[in-house]
Amino acid sequence: MMKNPVLVCDFDGTITENDNIIAIMKKFAPPEWVALKDGVLSQDISIKEGVGKMFALLPSAQKKEITDFILNDAKIREGFSEFVSYTKKAGIPLYIVSGGMDFFVKPILNGMIPEDHIFCNEADFSDSRIHIHWPNACDDECTNECGCCKPSIVRQVAPNHDVIVIGDSVTDLEAAKLAKLVIARDFLLEKSEQLGLNYRPFHTFYDVIDHVKEVIE
C-alpha cells in the first residue's frame, strides 16, 4: 500500500492518443526534423536541444495554422475525464508534467486540471522562427538538459511522497526512475521492463484507474 501518493502524468502520447509535437512536425516541418527526433529518442542529443531545434524550423507566421491544426487533431485518451474525477474523489494530487507546449497543452486541459498543476514548456512566436522557453529547468540533481525536467518537478511537488508516474516516452524515463510505480505504454513500457522498474501497462485511463486502486486501496 502506498502512503500519501502523488500522481505525475505525461501529456503527449499519454493523455492524448498521439504525440502532438510529432504531429506538428509531420504536418509543418521540413525533413530536417526527423534526424533531430531520432537523436532525442536515441538519447544522442538532449531533449532540450532536439525539441528546441525542431521548433526553430517552423516560422512564427504559421502560429494560427499550427494552433488550429493541433487543437483539432489532438484526441484525449479514453477514460481520462473519469480518471480526473477519480483522483479528486480519492483526494490524490494529480500533476500534468509535459514536454509539450503551452499553446496546446493548456487549452486542451482547460476546465479539467487547475493551471497551477500543469507544467509545460512555452512557445514564443515573437521572432521569425518559433523559440522555446524552458521555465521548468533541471535542478542541481539533474544534468540531462531535459527542457521540462520531470525528475526536478517530482522532487518539487512530491517530496517524501510515494510517486506514481504515468507516461509513454523518453521524456518520462528519468521521472519513472524515481517512482514507486510506473504506469506505462510504448517506449516507457519497454524501458521500464529493461530497467526492472515496478510497472504496469496501460491502454486507456480505465486501466490507469485500476492500477492506482490496486496500490492505494
* CATH code of the domain occupying 5-216: 3.90.1470.20
**pLDDT grade for 3, boundaries at 50, 70 and 90:** confident
pLDDT at position 136, please?
96
214, with CB counted inside 10 A (0-12, 13-18, 19+), is: exposed
Portion of the chain with pLDDT greater than 70, in percent: 100
**pLDDT grade for 19, boundaries at 50, 70 and 90:** very high
CB 150 within 8 A of CB 137: no
pTM for the whole structure = 0.94
> Averaged over 137-145, what is the pLDDT?
92
Average predicted confidence (pLDDT) for the chain? 96
- Cell numbers at residue 75, please? 484526441
**pLDDT grade for 196, boundaries at 50, 70 and 90:** very high
- Domain range list for the chain: 5-216
Where would I find the beta strands (DSSP E) of the chain? 5-9, 94-101, 118-124, 131-133, 162-167, 181-184, 199-201
Strands 131-133 and 118-124: antiparallel
pLDDT at position 99, please?
94
The contacts of residue 52 (CB under 8 Å, 6+ apart) are 131, 132, 147
